[in-house]
Amino acid sequence: MILLDTHAFVWLASTPERLSGAARAAVRKNASTLHISCVSAWEIALLYRKKRLLLPLPPERFIEEAIAHLHLIELPLARQTVLHSVSLPPVHNDPFDRVLIAECRLNRFSLISADRVLPQYPDVDVIW
């Protein structure tokens, strides 16, 4: 099973050619078990509001339509995930990325991400 990092979700939905070959292959191979975290929706909405992310639609519609079109499984935020994210080594300071790493570790997901810091976390397979 695979979890998409926020940027990987946006790219897959809007400009899939930006994904690496390995990421595109993983998406094809695992199309029925691709997950998106609810924290990615939060991050997208914040970036859009700060004008740091341009989308063809308002974030609510973009996210909803992309999830439906790509047949993604939405992952709700669990208390256990939040608590685990705080106990991670201080490799990454971004709270959104720390939550994604915690979700991957707790659910044994691989993570599609271009973030070069995330592979430093133990017990997480980062695909790029």
Distance, CA of 95 to CA of 121 (rounded, Å): 14
Total number of domains constituting the chain: 1
| Cα separation values, 81 from 25, 59, 62, Å | 28, 24, 26
CATH number at residue 76: 3.40.50.1010
Task: Tell me the pLDDT tens digit for each residue of 61-112.
Answer: 999 999 999 999 999 999 999 999 999 999 989 999 999 999 999 999 999 9
Provide, rounded to the nearest whole percent, the portion of the chain with pLDDT above 90: 98
Whether 3 and 41 have beta carbons less than 8 Å apart is answered as no
Residue 119: predicted pLDDT:
97
93 or 4, greater pLDDT: 4
Residue 69: predicted pLDDT:
98
pTM attached to this predicted model:
0.95
| Cα separation values, 25 from 12, 17, 21, 22, 81, Å | 12, 12, 6, 5, 28
- Identify the domain containing residue 22 by its residue range: 2-127
In the numeric block, which tokens belong to residue 25?
């292959």
